[in-house]
Amino acid sequence: MTENVKDKVFTRYQIFIIAVLAFIQFTVILDFIIIAPLGALLMKTMGVTPAQFGSIVSAYAFSAGISGFLAAGFADKYDRKRFLLFFYAGFILGTFLCGIATNYYFLLGARIVTGIFGGVIASVSLSIVTDLFEMNVRSRVMGFVQMSFAVAQVAGIPLGIYLANVIGWHAPFMMIVGIGIPAGIAMMKMVRPIDTHLSFERSSHHNAFNHLRTTVSHPDYVKAFATTAFLTIGGFLMMPFSSAFLVNNIGITQQHLPLVFMFTGMATIIILPIVGRFSDTVGKFRMFVIGTVVAGVAIIYYTNLSVSPLWEVVLINVILFAGIMSRMIPATTLMTAVPEISDRGAFMSINSSLQQISGGVASIFAGMIIVQIDQGPLQNYNVLGYLCVALMIIGIGMMYMINTLVEEKTKTASSSLSSGGISQ
């Protein structure tokens, strides 16, 4: 049953929900992004080429995208708690398989399994947030949930890299399994059923294929899906080779690599709640534009760096992530306001699928552009930066379209409520 937020104060149960969702997101995000910091180690120890490494990253993305799309027709037919637990259990299994992988092909297959289940989790979590929290505080909630990304930067990645350096690259995956199982048990035991959406279920939803078809063909949803795909491709181009660029081009040692992620994540933990609050007060689209400008300038500077001191690398990474998060939080919040409650799960699932598939496309594209000769510096990384900035600028126009759509929908809903009140 939905608990409304009154006077912008969260209940104790809502705080618990935020914490559980944030921790689950932490494990999923860590599993996804830990591959990038392990890139230099994997390419060295397993003899993986940049193109093969791009395939490892994209394998998760494509399988997650396909899975999310297929799950969309069922996303609004079940209690969201049970739906989330099912896919989280599969995600833990896939991560375990990554932890026992013995070669490139085993790891590739394990990443596919992990993606099949992990790709649906974010969409279900967003549906839960949208069900339980009103729009006027939703960016703030998103800020806290997205803090899981920063915590992964601060604690997860440095610890994962340390374990990989000491024990082996398998260790970070086993760590995720070890902390993920208790999180799943906590949700199973303590979270109440989340099934309010079932009372709004339409007759077309009884058939999963019809529900998927009507959601995919909805004109407003199509605009949102196109925007999501475009923003993801632009935002993901640089990520797969980030650690390899730091090690091979900027001169950060494998031992100092965790410090870059740790200090960047510490700053991001402070920045995220601020971004969430400002998004709710100054306006979500305005915050998105500010974040785009900050991120664009940082990307141009960062991708043209040569060998640099650690403090400079950390500083520019902090600025870069501040800009990225200032785009991500308001954009995600606006997207949650697009679907009707009866379509929310399907919309989020398809939207998440497009994010994953678009990320996979970006990974393959980046792997085709990046060139490395004899374990030397990466070439053309600045080209990725220029492409990323160009796509981000175009993304402002696409996000303006979504913001206008949400504002019109909000006005229509307010008018309907007012008319209802007068008639009574």
| CATH number of the domain where residue 107 is located | 1.20.1250.20
Q: How confident is the model at residue 33 (pLDDT cuts 50, 70, 90)?
A: confident
Separation of alpha carbons 60 and 58, rounded Å? 5
C-alpha 64: how far from its chain's center?
A: 12
The total number of structural domains in the chain stands at: 1
Q: What is the pLDDT of residue 415?
A: 61
pLDDT for 250 beyond 50: yes
Q: What is the pLDDT of residue 176?
A: 92
Q: Is 423 helix (H, G, I), strand (E, B) or coil?
A: helix
Which range among 79-93, 226-240, 272-286, 362-376 has the greatest average pLDDT? Answer: 79-93
Q: What is the pLDDT of residue 91?
A: 94
Burial label for 421, CB within 10 Å (0-12, 13-18, 19+), is: exposed
Q: What is the pLDDT of residue 409?
A: 79
C-alpha separations of 330 from 141, 199, 214, 338, 408 in Å: 11, 29, 26, 13, 17
Q: Domain residues for 163?
A: 16-192+218-410
Amino acid at 396: I
In a domain, 102, yes or no: yes
* Two tokens, residue 415: 């008018």
Residue 367, beta-bridge partner list: none
In a domain, 212, yes or no: no
Separation of alpha carbons 393 and 377, rounded Å? 28
In a domain, 66, yes or no: yes
Q: What is the pLDDT of residue 197?
A: 66
Query: pTM of the prediction?
Result: 0.68
Q: Which of 194, 186, 184 is nearest to 78 (CA)?
A: 194
C-alpha separations of 347 from 131, 211, 304 in Å: 13, 10, 38
Q: Cβ atoms within 10 A of the Cβ of 182, count?
A: 10
pLDDT for 37 beyond 90: no
Q: Nearest 5°: CA angle at 84, between 119 and 59? A: 15
pLDDT, tens digit (0-9, with 9 covering 90-100), for 171-196:
888 999 999 999 899 888 888 878 77
Q: How confident is the model at residue 133 (pLDDT cuts 50, 70, 90)?
A: confident
In a domain, 345, yes or no: yes
pLDDT for 413 beyond 50: yes
Average pLDDT over residues 312-317: 88
In a domain, 197, yes or no: no
In a domain, 199, yes or no: no
* Two tokens, residue 214: 């009507």
Q: How confident is the model at residue 200 (pLDDT cuts 50, 70, 90)?
A: low
